[in-house]
Amino acid sequence: NFSRVTEFILLGLSDTRDLQVLFFTFFFLAYALVLLGNLLIIVTVRSDPKLSSPMYFLLCNLSFIDICCTSVTSPRMLVDLLFQRKAIAFEDCIAQLFFLHFVGASEMFLLTVMAYDRYTAICKPLHYTAIMNRQVCWVLVSACWAGGFLHSIVQTLLTIQLPFCGPNTIDNYFCDVPPVIRLACTDIYVIEWLMVSNSGLISLVCFLVLVTSYTFILVTIRVRFTEGHWKALSTCASHAMVVTLFFVPCIFIYFRPFSTFPSDKHICVIYTVLSPVLNPLIYTLRNNEVKASMRKLWKRCRV
């Protein structure tokens, strides 16, 4: 005798009106920066033939994923900040959960591929063009999207088969696996550990692969240091900042039991908002080739 929940109530980041206005202003500007910054990178890379290397091809795909990732949560959050009651239909909640994990896992895999690209360019420069050609890049990017879809469909199927019959208040500003399954009217111990082994292990394994690749890069640069390697080190440093901002919060949230810890909604801001905002800044301000291409694009647009 259960009545299935038809909607969830999102508590958001705060119930104080003044803070909601402040959050709306901040997140609106952040979302605008994500869209404009990443679209500018995509247009710049696509319009300049000099930026045709695998690194820029992968960067262009990262910008597209960042737009998708923040668009899953930010528009809904901005609308909810304008209203006191923040309700989301059950189907919309599950859809948001699915797309968040779809693009989030795809970004994890893509960042790992980008680290492999830098490892190949620095540690195996003579074989780089043969290993990382355009066809291989397309295969790797497609594999990233396929892996993200497989991960997300598992998370979603494990969630929708749970019975939701009573509590419907989510202490977060979007629907995610940890706060949603805590509302299930059943013992979630097994489901919980299945999801931890899925999301948590993916985050941890990708992060360890990234750390390993950077270690090999640092060792290679230390052995044969040149001006070209200094440029590569600068690129890897910016990549490492993106990786740290994205992976550390994900590991903290997903690589532990969900039911024994309070809400981490303020930590979620780091990888859903701050990381997509900083990606364009980090990759453009530290990359002279991209900045030069942007200046050329600006001059062409003015003419």
- pLDDT tens digits for 250-299? 888 888 776 656 667 888 888 888 888 887 777 776 677 777 888 887 77
- Find the mean pLDDT for residues 10-17: 83
The three-state DSSP-derived secondary structure of 120-172 is HHHHCHHHHHHHCCHHHHHHHHHHHHHHHHHHHHHHHHHHHCCCCCCCCEECC
The answer to whether the pTM exceeds 0.85 is yes
Domains observed in the chain: 7-302 (1.20.1070.10)
In the DSSP assignment, the letter for residue 286 is T
User: Are the beta carbons of 119 and 36 closer than 8 angstroms?
Assistant: no
Give me 106's structure tokens: 């795809």
- pLDDT tens digits for 211-250? 888 888 888 777 665 555 566 666 667 777 778 888 888 8
- pLDDT tens digits for 172-208? 889 988 889 888 888 888 888 888 888 888 999 999 9
From edge to edge, which strands make up the β-sheet containing 87-89? 87-89, 7-10, 169-170
Lowest mean pLDDT among 83-97, 107-121, 163-177, 263-277: 263-277
